[in-house]
Structures are given as structure tokens and as C-alpha cells.
Amino acid sequence: MEHKYKPQLLPLQPEKNLKTLVESRSVYTLKHCELNVFETWQQSENVRLVFNDMVLTTMLRGKKIMHLFGSEHFDYLPGESVIVPDNEEMIIDFPEASQDNPTQCIALAIDATMLKDTLQLLNEKYPKTEKQESWNIDISCFHLQNSLEITSAINRLVNISTENIAAKDVLVDFTLKELLIRLMQTQARKLILDSYANNTATNRFAAVVQYIKAHVHEEITIDKLSNLCCMSKPNFFRCFKREFGISPVDFILHERIKLAKSMIKDQHVSINEACYAVGINNLSYFFKLFKRIEGKTPGESRRDFS
């Protein structure tokens, strides 16, 4: 599992200002979005919530159990985001909320016009590599672990929305467009990782992912990957990063660290062995890379598993 990048915590409402202990709400209304901050201070179940626009929700603290699309339910934790379509009812349980351990969540309702304009811009100016594909928010991929880029955009959006600054709506619009693009790139990366084996005939990047996974312990060159795609090296590099929000080189490094992390779950495999087994020949570099991607050292990650 990838490292969860957690947005910055917001100050909790003073207890004297709380109108309710269940989903107490602060609202910041802007031209093309509405930022809602929800806090829950006691255990509760079957709290229902609906928005007229598509909503990006992000957990800041505590734990929820989300029920979506009739029967879908899952734990919802800090470092994760959920995309909810317009007029879709969320049913939420708060199994651990208390005055000592409140739950806090952001719900960003995004105007349909902003979403439409962003998708139109991308599909006209920066179309996807495969002609049969187009940029879109894929609701089948609604539960995401935040990437560093998503977390950074959310933090900036919250800071702009909650401050009294000039040209607030303009700054929010720029950041909102970036957030939507980062979301779609993260979805594209997750979807290709989940289904690459079934799509190598129709998506050239699926073939690239399959090759990387099969040869992750070996030296992998951009020349080899670009040849698999029948693209020039500069064009391959540019298109890959545009669609997935990460360069091919960084993608390979993430796959190596993901494999190393799964290996060190086994207490019989040393950290040194995991390092060399995933094709990294410098132990010091391995430690730095692991910490950058996972947010903790290999030793700390192993202790978490045990």
C-alpha cells in the first residue's frame, strides 16, 4: 500500500461554539466551489449527507465508516479521499468519535461548470495518448489514497479559502483546476496498476507497466520503454508524466520500493536483501528513497508490520 499523505489539520472549533456534537459544520462559499469542514465529537451512526454537486471529501483526523452506492461500505481514514457524485447520498458511521478524539473531514463541493471547463481544456489541449480515451473523473475509482500532489493542492485550497485575501476566487479557481488534474492523474495511475494485464493490447502504457513489473529487479531504460510504446524517448517521457502525474523514472522507483516494502514484511528477509533484490545497489540511496516515498525508514516500516 502506498504511503498516505495527510493534509494539514485544521483548528478544531471551540467547544462553546459547537451547535451539535454530530457533524458540526463550517462553510466557506466561493464562486466555483464550497468548502465544508465537518467535525464530529461523539459516536453516532447513519448520519446522512447529500450535495447537489460532485464532492471531494478528505479525512483529516479520526475514523469514519462510509456507506456509498447502496451497499458499498469501507473504513475511511486520514490520508484518504473519496469522490462522491452529485446527489449521491452518503451514510456515515462514527465508531470512535469522542470529545477527546473528534473526527474532522473536508467536503469540497465543486461546481459542475468548473469541472466541465477543466475537462474540455484537457481534452482539447492535452488529449490522452490513446485516441479512444479521454480525461474524466472516473467514479469507479472513488476511494483514493492521497498523493503528495493532491495533499499539497488541498492544503493550498484550504489556506486560500479560509484567509481574507484579495482575488480569492481567482486563486481558488487556479488551485481547483490543479486539484482536479491531480485527481485524474492519480485515478489513471491506480486504474492502470489495477488492470494493466487485461489492457496491453489497447493501451501502450499498460504494456509498459507490465514490463516494469516483470523486470523491476533489473536495469530498465527509458529507451526500452519508449520502444515498447513505439514513441520517441522525449514524447514517451512527456506523455507518461502528463497522464499519470509522475515520470517513468519515478514510477519505476515507486514500484521498487513497493516490492521492497512487501518483502520486509517477512522477518526472515533482511533489509539489505530487499534492497538488492529490487535492483537498487546502494543501501544508503535505498534508505533515502524509501523514506521519501513511504514517509518512514525501512526499519520503521518493518516495526509497523510486526
What whole-number distance in Å separates Cα of residue 186 and Cα of residue 94? 27
pTM of the model: 0.88
Give residue 251's pLDDT. 95
Give residue 205's pLDDT. 95
Which structural domains are found in the chain, ordered by start?
A: 15-194 (2.60.120.280), 199-305 (1.10.10.60)
Would the pLDDT of 172 be above 70? yes
In the structure, what pLDDT confidence band is assigned to residue 282 with cuts at 50, 70 and 90?
A: very high
Would the pLDDT of 154 be above 50? yes
Would the pLDDT of 135 be above 90? yes
Give residue 61's pLDDT. 95
CB neighbours of 81 closer than 8 A, spacing ≥ 6? 56, 57, 58, 59, 143, 144, 145, 146, 150, 154, 183
Would the pLDDT of 51 be above 90? yes
Give residue 3's pLDDT. 60
Give residue 234's pLDDT. 95
Put residue 167 in one of left, alpha, beta given phi > 0 → left and psi -120 to 50 → alpha: left
Would the pLDDT of 18 be above 70? no
Q: What is the mean pLDDT of residues 18-31?
A: 85
Would the pLDDT of 137 be above 60? yes
Residue showing cell 458511521? 93
Q: What is the mean pLDDT of residues 201-224?
A: 94
Give residue 17's pLDDT. 67
CB neighbours of 126 closer than 8 A, spacing ≥ 6? 135, 242
Beta strand spans in the chain (E): 24-29, 33-40, 44-49, 54-61, 64-68, 72-76, 80-84, 90-94, 103-110, 143-145
Closest CA to 146 of 60, 259, 28: 60
Residue 178's H or E segment, with its range, is helix 168-195
Cell of 160: 486560500
pLDDT, tens only, 53-106: 999 999 999 999 999 998 779 999 999 999 999 999 999 999 999 989 999 999
Looking at residue 282, what DSSP letter applies?
A: -
Residue 162's H or E segment, with its range, is helix 148-162
In the structure, what pLDDT confidence band is assigned to residue 9 with cuts at 50, 70 and 90?
A: confident
Q: What is the mean pLDDT of residues 251-262?
A: 95
Q: What is the mean pLDDT of residues 104-114?
A: 96
Give residue 20's pLDDT. 76
- Mean pLDDT is lowest, of 5-14, 65-74, 92-101, 252-261, for 5-14
> How many angstroms from the chain centroid is the CA of residue 221?
27
Give residue 1's pLDDT. 42
Residue showing cell 454530530? 22
Cell of 281: 545497489
In the structure, what pLDDT confidence band is assigned to residue 11 with cuts at 50, 70 and 90?
A: confident
